[in-house]
Structures are given as C-alpha cells and as structure tokens.
Amino acid sequence: MSEIPFRSLATAPTSLRLSDEFDIRSMEQVLGGNDLVQALHRHDHYFLLVLTTGEGMHECDFRPHTLEPHTIYAMRPGQVHRLELKAGSTGYILQFKAGFLATSEQGARQVLRRTGHVEVFRTTAERYAELRMLLDRIARAYTAHQEGYLHLVRAYLGAFLADLVLQAPVPAPASGAKGYTQERLEELLELIEANVHRVKEVAAYAERMHLSTFQLNAIAKAGTGRTCSELITDQLILEAKRYLLATTDQVTQVADRLGYEDPSYFIRFFKKHTGHTPEGFRQKSR
C-alpha cells in the first residue's frame, strides 16, 4: 500500500530548522521570486497560510479556496491539501505542532480545536493589520534566536490564535449550556477523526465521552444538524477520498485501511453516500 505524501515540520522545505515544533517564514522567503506548486500531501502539524497580498489556490480535503488578501487559511494535522501561490505574494506561512502550546491548559486546547475546524478566516484590512502585528513580533523573536526566544514566540502565538478564533464565522456561544455543547462537539469530532478507522459505533464514542447515545446525538445535532452516525459516515467518506486521490492504493487496500474486511461492502457504502463507486470517483476526480 502506498502512503499519502507526509510532511514533518522538522523536514519541511520551508523550515528554518530552529525548532522541530514551530516555524514561521515570510512568503517572500518561501517563494524566492518563483511560483509555488505543491501536490496533494498531509502534515503532522498545524499549518496557517496568512495572505497579505497575492493570488493562488489552497485546497483542503478537496474543498478549493481561491486565495484572497487579508485572509488566513488554516489546516489541522492529518488533513490533505495542495497549494498554489503566485510569485510576488506576501504574508506568512506559520506551522506548529499542538504540543508547542501549553495544551494541558483547557483554554489552549479549545483555541486549537476551534482554529483547526475553521478553514478560512476572512478579515477587514484593519483587523488583519492587528493580527499581522502579532505575526511580525513572532517572526522577529523567532529569527533573533535570543535566550528564551521560544517562550516569547509561544506567548505571541497563543495571543494570535485566541484573537483569530474571535473572528470565526460562528460567534462564541453566549450561555454556559451552549459553551458546553460546543466543547463536547469539538471533542467528539476530534475523537471520530482519530479513531474512525477502528471505531464506527456511536455507542463506543458515547462511552468514551461518558455520555449516553441520546446525549451524544443531541450534541451532534445542536452543533452540526447531523447525527453522530452521520458524522462518522462523513469522516469515513472523507478518509476514503483522501486515499483514493492521494495514493495509488487499490480499492481493496483502501477498504482495509478503513477497517472493512469485505471490500464489496465498502464499495456499496461509498456509492450510497457519493453516487460513485470508489474507482469511478477516482477516475472522475483526477
């Protein structure tokens, strides 16, 4: 079986090699006066494309986004993406592992989850300028490489992400109950993404979250309008598409990766939810 091309922060071509957990580069440094074209691949870290000016395309899990100025494009670990950037574009590429922040703190975990589940942050020129000031500080502290620089970078990064989340399309919940629901939904989505290859039963996720299946479905419905079973299906179809389009695996191998012992069952499942057989989808999309 072939693997989806995987990029580690420590070996990424845009890395300054100052840290295996964090990196920031200006687009001028990354582009070097040339267009940038990256084929489908995935990362083991968070990836933020912060565009001040320029043109290009960012595709995240097969959802294409035409790049626009004063916009931040976010990608969490494991997602599949490809990127095209025109020469002359300006801004930053920011990359970091979850462990770089103090993720033992609940607030930091919530900010990371919400950052990772919003793909596009559009801002006004004024708000973008405020965010850009934080990035400029991060870049200066990082490249200065003075004693304790990573502590300063970590503090600025936390402030940047917290400020970014405030601009998310869906406002933060006002009541305690809604806040709880949002937090548990984010926890559920994280669990499904990490375990769906092995765990496909709603009851198993409910047990892990110490909830009843009724409570879990209520949380899923309130936050997404979909049941927990539908969220599991969504993730399975997404994982299947990732392997079909980013590897040369046979359909039987994709089925095996997703935990299906019977490839014919997987083919029926995929066709039911996409309208295409796995191989038909692959041919249509390439």
> For residues 55 and 76, is the Cβ–Cβ distance under 8 A?
no
User: Which CATH number does 6-165 carry?
Assistant: 2.60.120.280
pTM metric for this prediction: 0.80
Task: Answer for the pair 46, 10: CB distance below 8 angstroms, yes or no.
Answer: no
Residue type, 268: R
Integer Cα distance of 42 and 60 in angstroms = 10
CA distance 62 to 134: 30
Write the CATH number of the domain with boundaries 176-285. 1.10.10.60
Given the structure tokens 């920031």, which residue do they identify? 24
CA 72 to chain centre: 12
Going from N- to C-terminal start, the domains of the chain cover: 6-165, 176-285
- Is 6-165's fold the same as 176-285's? no
The pLDDT profile of the chain, 286 residues, written as one tens digit per residue, is 667 777 777 665 554 555 778 999 999 999 999 999 998 888 888 999 999 999 999 999 988 999 999 999 998 888 898 999 999 999 999 999 888 886 555 566 677 777 767 789 999 999 999 999 999 999 999 988 888 888 899 889 988 988 888 766 554 443 344 678 888 998 899 899 999 999 999 999 999 999 999 999 999 999 889 999 999 999 999 999 999 988 889 999 999 999 999 999 999 999 999 999 999 999 988 7
